[in-house]
Each structure stands twice: as C-alpha cells, then as structure tokens.
Structure 1
Amino acid sequence: MLAALWQPFVEFAFMRRALLGGAVLALSAAPLGVFLILRRMSLIGDAIAHGILPGAALGFWLFGLSLPALTLGGLLAGLSMAGLAAWITRRTGLHEDASMAAIYPISLASGVLLLGLASQQLDLLHLLFGSVLAVDQPTLNGMLTVSLGSLLGLALIYRWLLLDSLDPLFLGSVSRFGPLAYGLFLTLVVLNLVIGFQAIGALMVVGLMMLPAAAARFWSRHLPSLLLIAALTGVLSVWLGLLLSYYANLPSGPCIILLAGACYGFSVIAGPVKGLLRTPTAALYS
C-alpha cells in the first residue's frame, strides 16, 4: 500500500521531472504568497496570473512552443499589467486592487481568445490547467533556475520587504530601497507564475502560491516559520496531487490545487492559531 506513494516516481521519468519541478516551484512560490498575504495583496497574485496569458499566447504565435518565448512573453505581459495598474492608481487615486480587478479580465479574455485561435496547434486544456507531460527537461531546467534565483532574490530583499510590508513610512525615513524591493518582489511573483504555468496551468499556478501561504497562517505567528510551513505544504500538495493525477487519470494542475485546498481546509479547522477547533465560539463574534 505504501509503495503506491512513490512507485509512479520510480517507474516514470516524466513523473520524477514533474515532482522535482513542482517541488522547487512550491519552495519558491509559497513564501512569496506569505508576503502577498502580509501586504494584503492576495488577489493581486491571481490577477497577475491571468494577466500573463496574452504574452504567453503571443510568444507561442511568434516562436512556437518555446519555453524562453513563453516565459519572456508572460513576464512582459505580467509586469506590464502590474505597471499599468500602478500608473492608473497614481494618476486617478483608484486603489491598486481595483485597478488590477479592472485590467485582468481584459488580459484573461485576450489570452484565452488568442490561445483558442491557436488551439489546433496547442493543447489549450493542458496550458490552462496543467499537465505533467509538459515538464520536459528544458522546462525543468527553467523551473530550477527560476526557483533558485527567486529564493536568492527573496533572501536579498527580505529585510527591506518585511519593513515595507509592516511600516513603509519608517522604511522610507531610513532607506530608499523600499520601492526597489517592492518592484523586485513583484518581478519574482511574475517569474514564478510564468515558469509554473506550463506544469500547473495558467489558471491554477496562483493556487500553489496562495493556498499554502494561507494555510500556514493557522500554524504560526512568526514569519520565518510561516515561510517554512508554506513551502513544505506546497511540496506536500505537489507530491499528493501528482499521485492523484496519475491514479485517477486527471489533469495535474487541478489535482495539485485540490490537495493544497485540502491542506488549507484542514488548517482552518485544526490550526492552533485561530483554527475553528482552537477558537471558542464566543470569540468568533467578539
């Protein structure tokens, strides 16, 4: 019985590639989700994930199914969308989340339309919802590179990003690196979303970033612990999700996110930090 937990990864190279790629993506994406929640920007990650589709579609049209083209196109589209939302916010006073909410449906519709027009050459279902078969060796190399670079980048800006998240006015009074750290942070978010959409799916990858981070909030109040718990929860979700995908013959992306959602649901119920079983009923209404 226990052999079923690792047998597919022993027998099939594509399952090993999917597990390794998904695990390193979870290790880099989930900590970014913790900071998104800390900065109350949870929905911005979802908006950017939808916003990368037009760039990826154009990259496919121009260069075919090329990982560098898809990555560069998605990166430019995601950063452009975030920059446009920030520009609208500065010029009009509209909140950034409202700007994102207005822009991302346009990006999503444009991307799906472009991909639909190219659907005879591209498996639209696998691109939107993920497929373990998409994780070939070049894709795995790209995921490893981006994940390692993302972890190093987050470590470099960790202190500034933490101060900017908790007290941006104080950071502005002692350092000028706040806006730079925020810009680098958004770049890391976009990179992780772009590199993960081939395996997890363009519409699913944000779940690997946000659900483990949300689950971690019910297990600790300390940021280093939150980052570690979120990363490990993401890795566990990838492992079990791939097993579910393999044995049930289902798309890998939704299976991974479903398992991450199960981890989140369990954390809501049993988590020691304001979990439902640990919180007196009267406190919920106080």
Structure 2
Amino acid sequence: MLDLIDAWLLAPFGYGFMRRAAVAGLALSLAAPPLGVFLMLRGMSLIGDAMAHAILPGVALGFLFAGFSLPMMSLGGIISGLLVALLAGSVSRLTGHREDSAMASFFLMSLAAGVMLVSMGGSSVDLTHVLFGSILAVDSTALVLIAGIASLIVLVLAAIFRALVVDCLDPLFLRGQGVRGGLVHGTFLGLVVLNLTAGFQTLGTLMAVGLMMLPATTARFWSQRLEGLIAIAIALAVLASFFGLLLSYHLGLPSGPSIILLAGMAYIFSALFGRQHSVVARFRRRVAPLESTPPAA
C-alpha cells in the first residue's frame, strides 16, 4: 500500500517540472478563489471570463515583440486588461449601459484582436500555448513571477478586505464613511487582471478564470458565511491543482484541462449533494414538513 501511494502520489513530484507546476498551482489556488468569491457575491461572475479574454491582445503584443518572454507578455496582459476595464467603465458611465454589457462587447473585440495578432506572428502551436497554457512548462522565472503576483494579490486583498465586504453589502454606507466605492471597485478589478495575467502562463487565457470561479461557485453549496466560502474555495482549488497534475502525469492528459475538469466535477457533485441550495438539500426541505405533519385522525 505504501509503495502504491509513493508511486502514485509522491514519486511524480521527484521531477523538477512537477514541483514547479505544483508550487505555481498552489500560488494561484491561494490568490484566485477569494477573488472569485467576491465576483460571485457582487453578481459579476461572468466579468471574470470577460477579463480573461481582455488580457489576450496585450499578451499577444508581448509575444510578438519578445517571443515567449513571460515578463513582457504579463506586462502586456496587465496593460490590456486594465485598459479594457477602464474603457468598459467609461462607456457604462457615459452612455448609461450596464457595465457587464460594455465588458462583453470589449472582451469579444479583445479576443478577436488577440487571436489575430498571435496568428500573424506565430504558428498554431504558439496560438495553442497562449490560449491554453502549459503548467508543466513553468520555469523558474515564470514561477517567481507567478508567486510574486499571487503574494501581491493576497496582501492587497487583505488591505481592502473590509471595504470590499461593505461595498458588496451596502455601497451607500461605504460612501457615507468617506471611502470612494469607485476606488475600491477599481482596485478589485485590477487584482482580477493581475490574477488572470499570472494564470495565463499555466492555464492559458481561456481557462485562467476557471481556477478563480469554479471553486468559488462550488463553495456556495457548502457554506453561507464569507470566511467559509473563501476557505472552502481555496481548499477545492488546491485539491484540483494537485490531483489534476497527478492525472496529467499518470494518464498523459493535458494538465490545464485536467485541473479545470476536476474543479468542474467538484461543482457538479456539490450541486447535487451540497449542504446549501443543492438538489438533495432542496428535496430534504420539501420532505421535512411532510414528515412533521401529524396523521389525520
């Protein structure tokens, strides 16, 4: 039994590329799920997906100028994501359109522009790498950058945590305390962009949002308290990253999709059997009043 555990769970991490992938997955699992929880609470779940596409043109420009240079691609992604967020917010304020509608419009344009730029300057292999990433290809430079961005996200999120919670629950009260809600909102979107920029190297621009949103939405089936949501979401992301890497290693599967599909399976299981709002939980609530009703005389 011990030999089997060693062969399946421990031996793969004897390789350097697996250790680097595990550390990168751990860093993203600590930073991304809390952002996903706040996106969910603010009714902005799809904004995360839009922002994941918004960074693509900047990543593509960084690729065209410097090849597979993670610092340049990350810098381009940050600038592109922040620019799209600024443009979407400006259009929303000037025209009265909903911010999510403006964001959807800009992310579609960003996706098309990014794919075209990568296609013009590279091969289909390059396009696949940018869109879907490869966590097993993370080198030491990429690992330092990912860990640094994840640490920055956690620190800034801790600094604005209270203001962010109040902004979710009662924005008017926050404004009454002299705190600008727009500044909190803008900082939060900036953290989302940073997280997606860190995640594109490992999961690609199309799936980087998966480790942010799937654990967060899954946690909603198990807890109603904010601290519970964040803790469960982080635990789910860590487990999905760890076992996704093992599946990828033993079965020869793509690493990124393996991680995201495991997180998706956890979501489906939780939707069926979770403690809160699941199919089973709703069924129990319907049956409980019937069982407590005394039989007619």
TM class by shorter chain equals: over 0.9
Shift of 1:281: 7.3
2:261 to 255, 258, 265: 258
What is the aligned partner in structure 2 of residue 32 from structure 1? Answer: 35
Letter of the 1:246 partner, please give it: Y
Q: How far apart, in 1, do the equivalents of 2:251 and 2:128 lie?
A: 17
1:156 to 135, 154, 159: 159
Letter of the 1:274 partner, please give it: H
What is the aligned partner in structure 2 of residue 147 from structure 1? Answer: 150
| Corresponding position: 1:111 with 2:114 | yes
Find the residue that maps to 2:279 and give its secondary structure: coil
Shift of 1:167: 0.8
User: Unmatched 5+ residue regions in structure 1?
Assistant: none
Moved more, 266-275 or 78-87: 266-275
| Corresponding position: 1:52 with 2:52 | no
- Bigger-Rg structure (1/2): 2
What is the aligned partner in structure 2 of residue 125 from structure 1? Answer: 128
Q: Which digits, 9 at most, give the CA deviation of each residue in 1:185-236, with x for residues without a partner?
A: 1111000100110111110110100000000111111101111111111111
1:130–1:251 CA contact under 8 A, matched in 2: no
What is the aligned partner in structure 2 of residue 241 from structure 1? Answer: 244
Moved more, 200-209 or 269-278: 269-278
Find the residue that maps to 1:112 and give its secondary structure: helix
Count of residue pairs the alignment pairs up? 283
1:9 to 13, 17, 30: 13
Letter of the 1:9 partner, please give it: F
1:50–1:107 CA contact under 8 A, matched in 2: yes
Q: Percent identity between the aligned chains?
A: 51
Q: How far apart, in 2, do the equivalents of 1:127 and 1:6 lie?
A: 30
1:179 to 182, 187, 191: 182
Find the residue that maps to 1:277 and give its secondary structure: helix
1:100 to 99, 103, 114: 103
Q: How far apart, in 2, do the equivalents of 1:14 and 1:199 lie?
A: 12
Q: How far apart, in 2, do the equivalents of 1:275 and 1:46 lie?
A: 24
What is the aligned partner in structure 1 of residue 79 from structure 2? Answer: 76
1:21–1:144 CA contact under 8 A, matched in 2: yes
Find the residue that maps to 1:8 and give its secondary structure: helix
TM-score when normalising by structure 1 = 0.95
2:207 to 204, 208, 218: 204
Q: Which digits, 9 at most, give the CA deviation of each residue in 1:5-35, with x for residues without a partner?
A: 232112x110110011011101100110000
Q: How far apart, in 2, do the equivalents of 1:280 and 1:136 lie?
A: 49
Which 4+ residue blocks in structure 1 deviate beyond 3 angstroms? Answer: none
| Corresponding position: 1:168 with 2:150 | no
Letter of the 2:175 partner, please give it: G
Q: Which digits, 9 at most, give the CA deviation of each residue in 1:245-277, with x for residues without a partner?
A: 222222211111101101111111111011211
What is the aligned partner in structure 2 of residue 91 from structure 1? Answer: 94
2:35–2:212 CA contact under 8 A, matched in 1: yes
Shift of 1:122: 5.9
Q: How far apart, in 1, do the equivalents of 2:52 and 2:217 lie?
A: 17
Letter of the 1:170 partner, please give it: F
Letter of the 2:65 partner, please give it: L
Shift of 1:138: 0.5
TM-score when normalising by structure 2 = 0.91
Please give the root-mean-square deviation of Cα atoms over the aligned residues, in Å: 1.6
2:245–2:259 CA contact under 8 A, matched in 1: yes
